[in-house]
Structure 1
Amino acid sequence: MNSHTLDTSPAAGPTAALDTASACWLRTLDRLERTTVADPAVRVLQRGIRSLPLGGMRDLLRGRPLGHPVHPVLVQVPIGCWLSASVLDFVPGAHHAATTLTAVGLAGVAPAAVAGWADTWPTGRPSERTPQREGPYAPPQSPLMRPDPS
């Protein structure tokens, strides 16, 4: 069984500093997740998403035919493509492949975002606070990953 204790003694060196920074980062993320500042805007978006006439498409976007949510699977497309494109940026002669992967990742943003919104926003349970914070920011970030026009 592996156990890890936080060693903050001066002899621990860089590992202790990294552990301390990680703990601080996790506390900050936890506070951000629990903040209620964005709740009014989130409620407006929830009402808008609930009012969309998706019909049977809502079940498909939620992954009911598959028996599990579709969003976690769909987000792998942009993430995987962009990570691979970043690696290929350092490979000589792989510019075209990196650009193609970036474009495929961009094409995968909309389906992943729509599936995430349909899957997590209808109920507004406290366990869904993280997706409600994440959702509005993911599509606006995608232009940062646009293919190189050259």
Structure 2
Amino acid sequence: MRGALALALAAALLTGCGDDGSGAYCESVKEHQRELSDIAASTDPGAIFGALDAYRDLQARAPRDLDDEWDQVIDRLEALESALDEAGVDPATYDPVTTLASLSPAQRSAVKGAARDLGDQATVASMAGIEQQALDVCKMPLSQ
């Protein structure tokens, strides 16, 4: 019994000391930091969609405990991108007042709904969790 307990404890300690996958994730955070900083500083309304490839790469390398957060953020960005695309709207020229007025009611509803969902509490909280993980684990922000 004592031997089995010692073996279980040793296995737990070795697992705890092993790479939790954060090394590759932190490298990816560092790799995309400049690009994400440029996107965050941009005044182009469509710039955020330029982050999708970086976000997908980060999602692929992220620790499992961020799966839901990355899914939330990426799904919402893709939904807005899709709604704009289906409405024939160039994200770079999007203006909430003039663009929405030129859309059909169905297109307007789809774009407004996707934009609302992107800015909802769940998405904001997910992005905050992703940012906090980068700070806590990688000791750097996603963007500066």
Given the two structures, how large is their TM-score scaled by the length of structure 1?
0.32
Q: Which has the higher contact order (CA 8 A, sep 6+)?
A: 2
